[in-house]
Structure 1
Amino acid sequence: MAVDRLLPTDEARELIQLTRDIADKALDPIVDEHEKAETYPDGLFATLGEAGLLSLPYPEEWGGGGQPYEVYLQVLEELAARWAAVAVAVSVHGLSCHPLFTFGTDEQKQRWLPEMLGGSTIGAYSLSEPQAGSDAAALACKAVSGPDGYTITGSKAWITHGGIADFYTLFARTGEGSKGISCFLVPGDTPGLSFGAPEEKMGLHAVPTAAAHYDGARVDRDRLVGSEGQGLAIAFSALDAGRLGIAAVAVGIAQAALDDAVRYATERETFGRRIIDHQGLGFVLADMAAAVDSARATYLDAARRRDAGLPYSRQASVAKLVATDAAMKVTTDAVQVHGGYGYTRDFRVERYMREAKITQIFEGTNQIQRLVISRSLAT
């Protein structure tokens, strides 16, 4: 069921309709095949890039779409309602462009940003390590400065599009302590950069998540984004926006689960009545709908604050927490509505439930979101 959206302009309404058309024609018909076979959808991201969907919130002068963040997030939600793995990768690509756009020099932006934002190159975000997830200050991957550039040694983990991306926004240690982290834009074909086998995940099977290994990989000095030691500030500035992306993806998953549950409940009959007409089940569906609508409202509130230039860090954490917890509950209830059939792969709701789980974990676990929110209340 298409969601009635309150959009700020006619252009935004046309963009949402374009997204729905592409999602229905290019994503929906092939998602089940690729997720079950765990195969990458070659050419799909090029299609999304050609349609201008990969970098909507960035200025048109650099190849972006010039859209408010509230519109961009609703595009992500539409994509996620058809294919969560693709929507996550689109969100991560946008996140990967943020450091260069926000902290890069004019020369760096002129050199790399147009093709990144135009979708001809796909990016990945490389912050986490095997022993450093939410504790980003504990990073151990090192970048040693030399006469002509930096030599990078160490490992990174949980990279969406790992091994496939054209560039990696990498955070590595150039000094001691929390102020010793720096940001680099690393080409995917850099000698000395290799990748492990894709992780065997619970969900999001079609887009690989892999570890990266830097064995004396050298990058030119002009690949440093911002100044040395500015890396954590850059990473955290991007993560607020990234958390909103995951919130929108979670709402898309939940909306798809709700739609499937309502469809099934109107077709399935027991005791001579549609199961949706049994009050016990009807109330479950009502709670699901309320959760989806409420979660959408939280991410839109945070996005509108961002668009207005207001602080939104706490609201981003609230949106991520509320939306992903809602997605987990709604998808679990959708499986319940389907009864035994919901536990089989014949229906998509079992996939939605598996996909919803990861949204509670990445871009900062929901326990970390609670920590961020509680600290904001104490200041």
Structure 2
Amino acid sequence: MNYELTPEQQNLYETVCRFADDVVAPAAYQYDTERRLPLDIIAQMGDLGLFGLPFPVEDGGQGKTYLELCLAVEALARVDQSIAVTLEAGVGLGIQSIFRHGTAEQKARWLPDLLSGRALAGFGLTEAGAGSDAGATRTTAVLDGDEWVLNGTKQFITNSGTPITSVVTVTAVTGEETRPDGSVKKELSCILVPTGTPGFTVGEAYDKVGWHTSDTHPLAFENVRVPAANLLGERGRGYANFLRALDEGRIAFAALATGAAQGCLEEALRYAKERHVFDRNIGENQHIAFKLARMQARVHQARLCWLDAARKQVAGLPFKSEASIAKLVSGEAAMDNARDATQIFGGYGFLNENAVARHYRDSKVLEIGEGTTEVQLMIISRDLGLTA
């Protein structure tokens, strides 16, 4: 497997890195403090074509692959994980589902604004009792004539309550089947629910430990009626469809975590060369130098893991286990590098205005979101033929 980037891919990465350093980083602390998504920055990301990266030119995209999307996500996450996850979730969960499973009419309605960054889409999967166990979904959608009637709640839904959110894809139980042994199998489907539909309520934003700029809300559906034509994909295929979306999402999530680990390394290395104690910079102390060396090793390992998974996804090869390995390794790398970078900065690393402090708060969710560390271990162990 070749892990070298093409000149075009390297240019994309460097371009997004410059955008992140020049536009995102200077505003990151302000928006983190205000806990709001900077729509001006999102618009500029749209102008750069980031939301359309892995989609065909004829559909309004940039004609690249999922690997190029992951490169952009990594570059952004170096300086602000919230901005990076807005892109990652907006494309990997919001747009990808509509592009892959939508009808011609659904694509024509939603994709132009989504691919340009003028609008965002959410993906309503998680519930209070149905996260890792998505089969425990309780939200229902009942067909009443030519309309679906939705009732239920969702939680932790990214990009669901911004001023430019246009639609949320909702997973719901659309039927049940009693098996011969008496157990009940739920039929899960995906329904498109436009923002502003009567009965669709976006709750107050969560008071989160980190990712303050990222938009995250609980959702409620009370007799929400949408046209039957808003069914996304085949009825009863919702479970299979969102499992594929999650598998791909874990690659981009791993790229995000790698970017966070890289950002911590860059900040800590700069500080180690600038900070002088006892007439020399602290980077000359072996314990600091070795800490930075371990941080570099973690970044390298994490990047190779997500590149391996992304290459296989682009080539049409199985990548489920590789995606879980990438997410596991990179999430731990981000958390470990954030801890070490904060230690190197000392007291300054405990100030929220410092990027490493924000990475320290933000990185924990990288071991939780898009499938916890334990879920990744379960997937990897199953691939080894273990069933426990």
Alpha-carbon distance in 2 for matches of 1:349, 1:25 = 18
Alpha-carbon distance in 1 for matches of 2:30, 2:103 = 43
Correspondence for 1:116: 114
Alpha-carbon distance in 2 for matches of 1:363, 1:236 = 11
Among 263, 280, 294, the residue aligned to 2:301: 294
Alignment of 1:109-148 (within 5 A): 109-148=107-146
Matched residue count: 374
Q: Deviations over 1:56-109 (max 9, x none)?
A: 111111111121222221111011112110110111111212222222233433
Task: Return closer, same or farther for 1:352/1:378 CA change in 2, 3 Å cut-off.
Answer: same
Correspondence for 2:313: 306
Residue 227, structure 1, aligned to residue 224, structure 2: no
Among 329, 336, 341, the residue aligned to 1:329: 336
Correspondence for 1:32: 29
Correspondence for 1:18: 15
Unaligned runs of 5+ in 1: none
Q: Deviations over 1:253-278 (max 9, x none)?
A: 11111111111111112232211111
Contact 1:159 1:210 in 2 (8 A): yes
Secondary structure of residue in 1 paired with 2:97: helix
Alpha-carbon distance in 2 for matches of 1:111, 1:32 = 36
Secondary structure of residue in 2 paired with 1:35: helix
Name whichever of 33-42 and 242-251 sits farther off. Answer: 33-42
Cα offset, 1:55, TM superposition: 2.6
Structure 2 counterpart of 1:309, one-letter code: G
Alpha-carbon distance in 2 for matches of 1:32, 1:112 = 32
TM-score (norm: length of structure 1): 0.95
TM-score (norm: length of structure 2): 0.93
Name whichever of 169-178 and 347-356 sits farther off. Answer: 169-178
Secondary structure of residue in 2 paired with 1:180: strand
Task: Return closer, same or farther for 1:110/1:345 CA change in 2, 3 Å cut-off.
Answer: closer
Correspondence for 1:96: 94
Alpha-carbon distance in 2 for matches of 1:111, 1:37 = 33
Q: Deviations over 1:352-379 (max 9, x none)?
A: 1111101110100010000011011107
Alpha-carbon distance in 2 for matches of 1:255, 1:286 = 12
Correspondence for 2:62: 65
Contact 1:268 1:275 in 2 (8 A): yes
Correspondence for 1:214: 221
Unaligned runs of 5+ in 2: 177-183
Contact 2:90 2:159 in 1 (8 A): no
Among 78, 83, 90, the residue aligned to 1:81: 78
Secondary structure of residue in 2 paired with 1:198: coil
Cα offset, 1:347, TM superposition: 2.2
Structure 2 counterpart of 1:65, one-letter code: Q
Secondary structure of residue in 1 paired with 2:170: strand
Structure 2 counterpart of 1:55, one-letter code: G
